Structure 1
Amino acid sequence: MSILPHSTPAAVPDGVRAMGEGPFLQPGDQIDWHYRKPGWQPGDASTITPMRVVRDDARGLVAWLAPGTLQEGQGTPAGERVRTVPLERRWLEPRTRIVEEWWGNGILRIAPAGAAWSVWLFWSEVSGPDWQFAGWYVNLENAHLRTDRDTYSSDHILDVEIEPDGRISLKDEDELVAAIAQGRLTREQAAQIERHADAAIESFHSGEWPFDPRWQAWRPDPSWTMPELTGLSDLRRP
């Protein structure tokens, strides 16, 4: 499991296990995907996304985020989404719990066991069986810890974008710099995140299973209903 040095792993329930250790869920089961800051405590804001399991086994978790899914998100006391907060104060603002809808097309998320990232597949056009693959988004994060129905990680801010033709670029480098300046990360932690980015890029070049082209042809089961997260009615809408 990869956890940044000098940081506290995201607080998780008792009895968690590493990703890739059973018991496993079946395709179509709901799993709630949590992102919590290091040192999270009950009542703190987090991101919780209800998803449908595509595959859950020793290699890791594959789950589907359907368009229109309601999720718990992180906002400011004024009700703004965190992404809209100016960068010069983004990591200084206190965060509150909000409810938000996942907009756009769905996303297939793949969390390999023991990896400090998850791989997200995007599609720009979705029409019947003919979907237009838009590329991979590698979300750098702590290796996941699991309970039977939930998985927990902590986001690492920097990300990797990979175009369908294989072109690679880093995303949110400016946010990483701001996170250091505002005390969210140390320089040593940021350096380790950059090493994780290099390892994820190598995983892509090696053709490891999250980047298997067959995932681009995957489609959700049309019988799946929208997963639901409890407690959303108690949260503020931005």
Structure 2
Amino acid sequence: MSILPHSTPAAVPEGARPLGEGPFLAPGDQIDWHYRAPGWQPGDPSTISPMRVVRDDERGLVAWLAPGTLQEAQGSATGDRVRSIPLERRWLDHRTRIVEEWWGGGSLRIAPVGAAWSVCLFWKPADDGDWRFDGWYVNLENAHLRTDRDTYSSDHILDVWIAADRTVHLKDEDEVVAAISQGRLTREQAAQIERHAGAAIESFRSGEWPFDAEWIDWRPDPSWTIPALRGLDELRGA
């Protein structure tokens, strides 16, 4: 399990286990994908995305985030999306719990066992109804811990975008600089995150499982409904 030095892992329920250890969920089952900040406490804001399981086994977790899914998200003090907080105060200002709809098309997420990152595949909508593969978004994060119906991680801010033409770009480097200046990360932690980015890029260039071509051609089961966010009524009334 990859935990940044000098950090506290995202709080998880007692008995949580690493990905790759059963019991496993079946395709179509709901799993809730959580991102919690280090030091998270009950009632603190987090990101929770209800998803459909595509594959859950010894390799890791693959899940589908459908368009139109309502998810819990982290918001500003005024209830806007967290990115509305100016960068110079992004990790200083108070955050709130909000509900937001997943924007755009759906996303296929793959969390390999033991990796300090997950992979999100995106497709561009097309007028003819076909799927146009857009690229891989590598989200740097703690290796997941999970219970039977939930999986938990903590976001590492820096990300990698790999376009369909296989060009590679780092994303949100300015946010990492801001996170260091605001005490969210140390320079040592930021350096380790960069090493994780390098490992993910090497996994891509080596053609490892998360980047296998089979996922580009994958399509969700048309019978799947959009899973419901647990506790939605309570969250809306907060």
SS in 2 for 1:235: helix
Classify the secondary structure of the residue corresponding to 1:200: helix
Instruction: State the Cα deviation string for residues 19-40 of structure 1 (Å, max 9, x = none).
Output: 1110000000000000000010
TM superposition shift of 1:159: 0.1
TM-score, reference length from structure 1: 0.97
1:125 shift after superposition:
1.7
User: 1:97-112 to 2 correspondence within 5 Å?
Assistant: 97-112=97-112
- Alignment partner, residue 72 of structure 2: 72
**Separation of aligned partners in 2, 1:33 and 1:94:** 23
Structure 2: runs of 5 or more not aligned: none
Q: Deviations over 1:19-66 (max 9, x none)?
A: 111000000000000000001000000000000000000000000000
Deviations 1:124-181 (A, max 9, x none): 1256772100000000000000100000000000000001111000000000000000
CA distance in 2, matches of 1:119, 1:15: 26
Alignment match, 2:114: 114
1:11, 1:36 within 8 Å by CA — same for their partners in 2? yes
Offset from partner CA, 1:178-230 (integer Å, 9 cap, x none) = 00000000000000000000000000001001100110000000000110012
- 1:51 partner letter: M
CA distance in 1, matches of 2:135, 2:83: 22
2:91 counterpart of 1:91: yes
Is 2:228 the partner of 1:228? yes
Deviation at 1:236, TM superposition (A): 4.9
Partner of 1:215: 215
DSSP-derived class of the 2:216 partner: helix
1:36-185 counterparts in 2 under 5 A? Answer: 36-126=36-126, 130-185=130-185
CA distance in 1: counterparts of 2:158 and 2:133, whole angstroms: 23
Match of 1:204 in 2: 204
Q: Matched residues, percent identical?
A: 78
What is the alpha-carbon distance in structure 2 between the residues aligned to residue 87 and residue 233 of structure 1? 31
Query: CA-to-partner distance for each residue in 1:67-116, whole Å, 9 max, x for gaps?
Result: 00000000122112111111011111111111000010000000000000
Cα RMSD, aligned residues only: 1.2
Q: Which amino acid aligns with 2:42?
A: P
Equivalent residue of 2:197, what SS?
helix
Looking at structure 1, the residues matched to 196 and 126 of structure 2 have their Cα atoms a distance apart, in angstroms, of 32
Partner Cα distance (2:76, 2:236) in 1: 11
User: Take 1:218 and 1:188, find their aligned partners in 2: how far apart are those partners?
Assistant: 38
For residues 236 and 159 of structure 1, what CA distance do their matches in structure 2 show? 30
**Greater displacement, 103-112 / 228-237:** 228-237
Counterpart secondary structure, 2:194 = helix
Question: CA–CA distance in 2 between the matches of 1:32 and 1:151?
Answer: 6
Q: Residues 97 and 236 of structure 1 are in contact (CA less than 8 Å); yes or no, is this contact kept in structure 2?
A: no
